[in-house]
């Protein structure tokens, strides 16, 4: 395999809460422009790991480097070089579309002119120019999720973390969302994504599957299916997580 | 109370927003019925009308002989409702929550223990823990236990499996089947299309309307046209190249393949056309196979028809 630039580097990462080990010696790399699926059962330790990788929680031991910065030593540097969106928390419902862009652009320290350029760029791309002064609350969920993804990319981060980004949206919107993910990855941004939709696991370049704090499997979807002798990622998941 | 449900001409508007448009639906006593659709389809609104929590703008709902508006007290006594958002008391323990809900219905945890045993047994070791400190999966089991504690005839579950992993989802459906065997009528909503196959009958819902109501197998059987699964060496560019094809109705990613629907009679001719096109685009390892539709294919096709009708109307 060619030497690809590592955007996420994790070695022997451990996170304990009291006696409970939420992450047990996680070791993996994610490369530039890769779409990496981070799967696991509820309670397997995914959220804990994502929090560490985003600089929101310090590891108990081990090492993780994201976008060139050690998460334990320089959490704020990590934060400014990554994008994040989740289904639960993404944008502010009582601000307009434009205000959300301005707010997040400001947080990432972009100059005013660039924020307005980026806002126009994304709204044009999403064909949502007419919504710029609409309060977010009044916008359908599918559109909101596309907006949230654009906002998470406003500062051209090296990696964007997506925590169940497609939960609840209709099957057409879900597919449009994945088109956006592909486009972003093609531009060289790494996409780190969690999902409970197993067909979406197929869209990832590589996936890891966590169970009880450990990464049980990590490979391309094709190789995982071959290794476990099953036809779908759903069956792979059930073999590992049950 | 018999729990067959008759929904007649039900509409609901919130100011200008029309959440439900003239819904007509009958659900039989003892049925496991699924309401399948994305966020904003109107599933929750319909459930809130059935549980007498909101009033319909128009139309009527009867559960057995009871009218959900006039006889709301009796309806509530016989209905268990698990809302989509966790709505138990976070600062009460598991046991306190159960006792609280039991006491509202003049019963006790002890009296109906048998009813919830299968589920409760999995959270019983944590009965002294506050509900707010439980993991997502355990919260869900507690909420279901609370919804069942008064031995309702009808149970309504609003997206119980959203955000839940594939294994826990499977276990949850096994629980529902068990409850059904006890004679309960179960009404459940989900955005996961693959769960449709687990219901006796389903309604596919979008934009406040029912797209189809039938047994899952019948919905699949009534799929019109031929569906093909295509794969090749470069899956990403394949999608846009397939979109350029003639005689093709829909193109969408479907797991490890791309599903396309043909507009012409002859399958062999179509496969030949697709193959020719892909070879000319320079693809290797081309595979084009006729495949059987699943509920998600049907939903996508119905959404397409719906959009076409709307375009014609405008």
Residue B256 to residue A242, Cβ atoms within 8 A: no
| Structure confidence at residue B311 (pLDDT) | 67
Q: What is the pLDDT of residue A99?
A: 97
Q: Do A43 and B135 count as a contact with CB atoms less than 8 A apart?
A: yes
Mutation site for A-interface testing, chosen from B208, B256, B258 by largest number of A Cβ within 10 Å = B256
Confidence band for B312, pLDDT divided at 50, 70 and 90: low
CA dist B135 and B157 (Å) reads 19
Q: Do A203 and B253 touch (CB under 8 A)?
A: yes
Of B137, B170, B253, the CB nearest to A42: B137
Verify whether the Cβ–Cβ distance B296 to A171 is below 8 Å. Answer: yes
Residues of chain B in contact with residue A18, where contact means CB-CB under 8 angstroms, are none
Q: Do A142 and B38 touch (CB under 8 A)?
A: yes
CB spacing of A43 vs B255 below 8 angstroms: no
Minimum distance, in Å, between the CA of residue A150 and any CA atom of chain B: 20
Here the ipTM equals 0.80
Give contacts of B37 with chain A, Cβ < 8 Å. 170
Question: What integer pLDDT is reported at residue B314 of this predicted model?
Answer: 56
Q: pLDDT digits over B120-169, tens only?
A: 998 999 999 999 988 777 888 899 999 999 999 999 999 998 878 888 88
The answer to whether the Cβ–Cβ distance between A232 and B164 falls below 8 Å is: no
Q: CB-based contact (8 Å) between A203 and chain B?
A: yes
Find the residue in B nearest to A45 (Cα). B135
Interval B17-43: pLDDT, tens: 899 999 999 999 999 999 998 888 899
Mean pLDDT (whole number) for B210-235: 93
The answer to whether A42 contacts B40, with C-beta atoms less than 8 Å apart, is no
Does the distance separating the beta carbons of B170 and A237 come in below 8 Å? no
CB-based contacts of B274: which residues, under 8 Å, 6+ apart? B228, B230, B242, B245, B260, B288
Q: Which of A228, A222, A229 shows the shortest CA–CA distance to A204?
A: A222
The torsion region of residue B36 among left (phi > 0), alpha (psi -120 to 50) and beta comes to beta
Which of B39, B164, B300 is the closest to A168 by Cβ?
B39
Q: In sequence order, which residues have a C-beta less than 8 Å from that of residue A20 and are 6 or more positions away?
A: none
Cβ distance of A141 and B170 shorter than 8 Å: no
pLDDT of residue B17: 84
**Residues in B lying within 8 Å of A, measured between beta carbons:** 37-41, 135-137, 159, 162-170, 191-193, 206, 236, 239, 252-256, 296, 299-300, 303
How confident is the model over B220-232, as a mean pLDDT?
Answer: 93
A238, closest residue in chain B (CA to CA): B167
Residue-range domain boundaries for chain B: 5-220, 224-292
pLDDT tens digits, A9-45: 999 999 999 999 999 999 999 999 999 999 998 888 9
Mind telling me how many Å the CA of A234 is from chain B's nearest CA? 7
pLDDT in tens, B48-89: 999 999 999 999 999 999 999 999 999 999 999 999 888 899
Angle among Cα A170, A173, A177 to the nearest 5 degrees reads 135
Of B163, B167, B206, the CB nearest to A241: B167
Reduced to 3 states (helix: H, G, I; strand: E, B; else coil), residue B97 is helix
* CB neighbour class for A205 (10 Å; exposed up to 12, middle 13-18, buried from 19): middle
Topology of domain B224-292 in CATH is Alpha-Beta Plaits (3.30.70)
pLDDT, residue B170, reads: 87
B164–A168 CB contact, under 8 Å: no
Record: fold of B5-220: Rossmann fold (3.40.50)
* B67 CA: distance to closest CA in chain A (Å): 31
Domains defined along chain A, listed by start: 32-43+76-241 (3.40.50.300)
Partners of residue B255 in chain A, C-beta under 8 Å: 198-199, 202, 232-233
Which of A 139-178 lie inside 8 A of B, CB atoms? 140-142, 164, 167-173, 175, 178
The whole-number average pLDDT for the span B251-273 is 92
| DSSP H helices in chain A | 46-53, 75-80, 97-107, 112-125, 141-152, 171-186, 198-201, 221-228, 233-241
Which residues in chain A have their CB less than 8 angstroms from residue B206's CB? 170
Output the pLDDT for position A83: 95
Chains A and B form CB pairs within 8 A to the count of 85
Give the start-end residues of each E strand in chain B: 5-14, 17-27, 32-36, 58-63, 66-67, 79-82, 154-157, 185-190, 201-206, 209-214, 227-231, 248-254, 257-262, 287-290
Which residues from A are below 8 Å from B289, CB to CB? none
* pLDDT value at residue A170: 83
Task: Compare CB distances from B236 to A172, A182, A237 and report the shortest one's residue.
Answer: A182
- Structure confidence at residue B1 (pLDDT): 58
CA distances from A206 to A87, A150, A164 (A): 22, 23, 17
Average pLDDT over residues B247-275: 92
Nearest by CB: B191 against A168, A175, A234: A168
pLDDT at position B16 over 90: no
Q: What is the average pLDDT value for chain B, to the nearest integer?
A: 91
Task: Kindly give the parts of chain A with pLDDT less than 70.
Answer: 1-2, 88-89
């Amino acid at each position: 395999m060619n030497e690809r630039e590592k955007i996420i580097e994790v070695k022997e990462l451990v996170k304990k809460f009291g006696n409970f080990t939420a992450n047990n010696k996680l070791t993996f790399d994610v490369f530039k422009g890769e779409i990496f699926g981070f799967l696991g059962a509820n309670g397997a330790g995914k959220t804990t790991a994502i929090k560490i990788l985003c600089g929101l929680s310090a590891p108990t031991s081990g090492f993780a480097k994201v976008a060139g910065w050690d998460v334990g030593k320089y959490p704020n540097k990590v934060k400014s070089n990554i994008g994040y969106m989740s289904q639960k928390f993404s944008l502010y419902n009582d601000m307009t579309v434009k205000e959300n862009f301005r707010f997040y652009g400001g947080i990432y320290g972009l100059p005013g002119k660039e924020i307005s350029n980026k806002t126009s760029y994304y709204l044009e791309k999403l064909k949502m120019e007419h919504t710029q002064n609409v309060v977010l609350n009044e916008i359908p969920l599918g559109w909101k999720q596309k907006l949230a993804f654009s906002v998470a990319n406003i500062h051209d981060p090296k990696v964007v973390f997506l925590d169940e980004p497609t939960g609840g949206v209709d099957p057409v919107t879900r597919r449009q969302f994945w088109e956006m993910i592909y486009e972003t990855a093609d531009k060289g941004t790494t996409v780190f994504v969690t999902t409970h939709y197993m067909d979406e696991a197929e869209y990832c370049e590589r996936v890891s599957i966590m169970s009880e704090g450990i990464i049980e499997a990590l490979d391309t979807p094709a190789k995982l299916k071959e290794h476990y002798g099953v036809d779908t990622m759903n069956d792979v998941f059930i073999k590992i997580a049950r | 109370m018999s729990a067959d449900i008759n929904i007649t001409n039900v509409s609901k508007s919130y100011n200008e927003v029309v959440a439900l448009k003239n819904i007509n639906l009958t659900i039989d006593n003892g049925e496991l019925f699924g309401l399948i659709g994305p966020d904003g389809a109107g599933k929750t609104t319909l459930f809130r009308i059935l549980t007498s929590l909101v009033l319909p703008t128009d139309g009527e709902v009867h559960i057995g002989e009871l009218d959900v508006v006039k006889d709301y007290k009796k309806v509530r006594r016989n209905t268990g409702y698990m809302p989509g958002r966790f709505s138990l008391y976070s600062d009460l323990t598991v046991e306190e929550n159960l006792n609280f809900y039991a006491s509202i219905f003049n019963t006790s945890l002890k009296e109906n223990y048998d009813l919830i045993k299968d589920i409760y047994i999995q959270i019983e070791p944590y009965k002294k823990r506050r509900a707010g400190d439980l993991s997502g999966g355990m919260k869900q089991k507690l909420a279901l236990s609370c919804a069942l504690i008064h031995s309702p005839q009808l149970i309504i579950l609003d997206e119980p499996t959203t955000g839940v992993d594939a294994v826990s989802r499977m276990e949850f459906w096994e629980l529902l089947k068990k409850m059904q065997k006890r004679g309960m009528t179960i009404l459940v909503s989900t955005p996961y299309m693959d769960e449709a196959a687990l219901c006796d009958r389903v309604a596919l819902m979008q934009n406040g309307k029912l797209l189809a109501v039938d047994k899952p197998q019948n919905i699949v059987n009534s799929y019109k046209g031929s569906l093909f699964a295509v794969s090749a060496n470069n899956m990403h560019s394949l999608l846009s190249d397939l979109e350029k094809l003639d005689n093709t109705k829909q193109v969408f990613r479907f797991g490890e393949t791309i599903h396309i629907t043909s507009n012409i009679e002859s399958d062999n001719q179509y496969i030949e056309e697709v193959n020719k096109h892909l070879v000319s685009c320079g693809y290797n390892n081309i595979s084009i196979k006729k495949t059987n539709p699943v509920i998600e294919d049907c939903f996508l096709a119905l959404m397409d028809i719906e959009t076409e009708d709307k375009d014609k109307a405008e």
